[in-house]
Amino acid sequence: MSRLVLDRLGRMYGRAAAVADVSLEIDDGELLVLLGPSGCGKTTTLRMVAGFVAASSGDIRLDGSSILALPPYRRDMGLVFQSYALFPHLSVARNVAFGLEMRGMRGPALAARVAEMLRLARLEPFAERLPRQLSGGQQQRVALARALAIRPRVLLLDEPLSNLDAALRGEVGRDIRLLQRESGLTTIMVTHDQDEAMAMADRLVVMRDGRVQQVGTQQDLYERPATPFVAGFIGRSTMLPGTRAEGGVFIADGAALRLAGRYGGNGAGTLALRPERLSLAAADAAGPGSVAGSVELASYLGAVREHVVRIGPTLRIVVRDSTAQGGGLLSAGTRVTVRWDQGAERLFDAADAPQPSLNPEPTDPRMTADD
Amino acid sequence: MPTDTALPEPFARLQRGLVATLVIIGAAIIGVPLLLTLYLSVFDESIIVFPPHGYTLHWYGRILPEFGGALRTSLETALAAVAISLLAGVPAGIGLARHRFRGRGTAAMLLLAPLTVPGIAIGLGIYVFAVMIEERTGTALSGSVGLMVAAHVLITLPWVVRLCLAALANHDPAAEEAAASLGAPPWRVIWRVTLPAMRGGIIAGALFAFIVSFENLEMTLFLTAPGVTTLPISVLQYLQYHIDPLVAAVAVVQVALVGGALLLLDRLVPVARVAA
């Protein structure tokens, strides 16, 4: 029904580019999440799609035709804001009815559609309340029902969960996901929270400084980050800048790390290590995918334990592993070897391009634990 | 009140006592002159002597014959000034609060500036300006109702603009964007979302504007003419020749009118919140 294409979209503020050269295709019924730190251009991109910010360059096409010339009220976009943005003087039912009234709907048809939306959003008991008499989660469900009531061609979600407390976040997030799936709506969501993004998205777009860093599924971004930024932002890798030397060794701050994979070429680069895919072994357990160090800090976090291992004068690696095996905490100063396999590491060259391993890529990295 | 629980009992009692004393003193400063005025207004004397020979309400009956014309001018001027201030001030408030444009700071300053200029200076300025125009064009300006209303708009408009700005400062602009995304063209967004959100500010602005105009003395002094005299000026002129309970009766009526307006205002919108 609705296929949205952003074609080399750009927005300048003075001489600074808030958004540069963003090209994306959002399939019918897909939920695409724009993810990135504040100032990365994700909200500006969303506001260009909604029509509140004019594009400086590029095009936005909905089902093949450009919508750039349309004002916001002609774009048929359902918008949900971080601040809910409900009409404070109107009841819940009147809020939901607003867009339908703007389309000239009256009488029984209007009442039936409003009732249906209130039921879907589990808001029936609150129909006559004013927004300020509702909790944050309920208010956001009103905003969602109001946006969906008009059967928009595209649903735009601007940090919809950020104002909610942690317990409600999951609940409202599931509500949004279910309603979006049921109505098969093409959706763009903007967030800075990677957990939220991972939980909601069909595909994700990581943005930084107005540019797209990587587009892909959760697994693409986690297993095959395209840039050191993505590796650090998704799953919070430990990033080690250094130099690749002969014999599969990576030198960082004087420490020699033996890489698990085999890579061509030498020179400066960055090594990203996933804390949750590292393990601690005895001090003499060297081999591919290892580095020696000493425990500096250990914390028990419930499901996982976390060791900060110092491998160089200023370099530390975080090792996070499950407490299910009953391992206790190692005391500070213990000499250890940090071990990992190929799925835990990602090597980038000096130009931040990811280096493919020459080893055959394992289908599931966890199957190769004792490689 | 955290201070109540934080202080030891004797100090807390002392503090409560001090607060109560200050409240009583404050109320007395405001209330005693009012009560005295009310008391004087029922003296059955043609000059104010104490103690009076008797009490009467007949001064109230003489208000309309003596001050009816001035009261009418005052009300008409105030209502016209309020209407014009709303027509100009509400759109100005929306524009200043919701849009960024060249000259925005200057426009805001000019709209609010009359609040900071003494009424005497404004009145004198307008009077001199009107006379200069008269000399050049030959049209009668000074002493006209039109000039009076225009001058009052100058001092009422800042109140409307200011309270509209305050009302919009508390209102999330995202609600207007939501309305637009739901299909509302700009004028319907203003009508259905922005104006309802400003309701409190508009009502408060209108009432403040009315009171400011109705009570104004200093500026209006320069703008009156025979037949075009407001109530405060009229009372002042009367006082120059008579000191009798009639003036007290007029004051009581005026306080009642303004007080009524303020009470109404407080019922409709919490003033403290809107004006903050």
* Amino acid present at A336: V
Q: Which residues of B touch A99 (CB under 8 A)?
A: 182-183
**Which residues are bridge partners to A193 per DSSP?**
none
Q: Could A99 and B182 be called an inter-chain contact, meaning their C-beta atoms sit closer than 8 Å?
A: yes
Q: Taking each helix axis as running N to C, give the angle between helix B174-181 and helix A136-149, from 0 to 180 degrees, rounded to the nearest 10.
A: 30
CB-CB contact of A295 with A332 (8 Å): yes
Bond into B51 cis (ω within 30): yes
3-state secondary structure chain A: CCCEEEEEEEEEECCEEEEEEEEEEECCCCEEEEECCCCCCHHHHHHHHHCCCCCCEEEEEECCEECCCCCHHHCCEEEECCCCCCCCCCCHHHHHHHHHHHCCCCHHHHHHHHHHHHHHCCCHHHCCCCHHHCCHHHHHHHHHHHHHHCCCCEEEEECCCCCCCHHHHHHHHHHHHHHHHHHCCEEEEEECCHHHHHHHCCEEEEEECCEEEEEECHHHHHHCCCCHHHHHHCCCCEEEEEEEECCCEEEECCEEEECCCCCCCCEEEEEEECHHHCEEECCCCCCCCEEEEEEEEEEECCCEEEEEEECCCCCEEEEEEECCCCCCCCCCCCEEEEECCHHHEEEEECCCCECCCCCCCCCCHHHHCCC
B270 falls in which pLDDT band (50, 70, 90)?
low
Band (A1; pLDDT cuts 50, 70, 90): low
Q: Which chain A positions have a beta carbon within 8 Å of B180's beta carbon?
A: 51-52, 71-73
Residue B12 has pLDDT above 50, yes or no: yes
Looking up tokens 């009639």 gives B246
Percent over 90 (pLDDT), chain A: 68
Q: Determine contact, residues B239/B104, Cβ cutoff 8 Å.
A: no
B interface with A, Cβ–Cβ < 8 A, is 171-172, 174-175, 177-186, 188, 192-193, 196-197, 199
Tell me, what amino acid is at B25? I
B192 DSSP assignment: I
The structural domains of chain A, ordered by start, are 4-221 (3.40.50.300), 237-368 (2.40.50.100)
Residue B272 has pLDDT above 70, yes or no: no
More confident residue, B258 or B191: B191
Q: Which helix or strand (DSSP H or E) is residue B43 part of?
A: none
* Chain B residues touching A52 at Cβ < 8 A: 177, 180
ipTM of the complex model: 0.83
* Higher pLDDT among residues A324 and A49, named by residue: A49
Q: What is the mean pLDDT of residues A124-132?
A: 94
Q: Which range among A97-111, A180-194, A315-329, A333-347 shows the weakest confidence by mean pLDDT? A: A315-329
Q: For strand A186-191 and strand A154-158, is the pairing parallel, antiparallel, or unpaired?
A: parallel
Task: Give the closest of B188, B193, B199 to A87, CB-based.
Answer: B193
Cα separation, A202 vs A254, whole angstroms: 42
Element (H, E) at B229: none
Length of chain B: 276
Residue A191 phi, psi dihedral angles, 5° rounding: -155, 160
Q: Is there a contact between A142 and A86 (Cβ–Cβ < 8 Å)?
A: yes
Domain ranges of chain B: 71-275
A16-26 sheet: strands from edge to edge: A16-26, A4-13, A57-62, A65-66
- Minimal Cβ distance to B177: which of A52, A74, A102: A52
Among the residue ranges A154-158, A362-366, B38-42, the one predicted with the least confidence is: A362-366
pTM score? 0.81
Ramachandran quadrant class, A86 (left: phi over 0; alpha: psi -120 to 50; beta: rest): beta
| Best residue of A44, A48, A81, A190 to probe chain B, by most B CBs closer than 10 Å | A81
pLDDT of residue A24 exceeding 90, the answer is: yes
Tokens of A225: 């980050």
Contact B181 A71 (CB under 8 A): no
**Contact between chains at B181 and A103 (C-beta distance less than 8 A):** no
Number of neighbouring beta carbons within 10 Å of residue B213: 28
Tokens 């895919």 map to which residue? A277
Q: Do the strands A290-300 and A304-310 form a parallel or antiparallel pair, or are they unpaired?
A: antiparallel
> For residue B195, what pLDDT is reported?
94
Lowest mean pLDDT, pick from A123-132, B86-95, B247-256: B247-256
Q: How many CB atoms lie within 10 A of CB B115?
A: 13
Q: What does the mean pLDDT of chain B come to?
A: 87
Facing residue for A89 by CB, picked from B172, B180, B197: B197
Distance CA A258, CA A290 (A): 5
Question: Which CA distances in Å does A127 have to A90, A92, A172?
Answer: 10, 5, 18
pLDDT bucket at A53, cuts 50 / 70 / 90: very high
Q: Which CATH superfamily is domain B71-275 in?
A: MetI-like (1.10.3720.10)
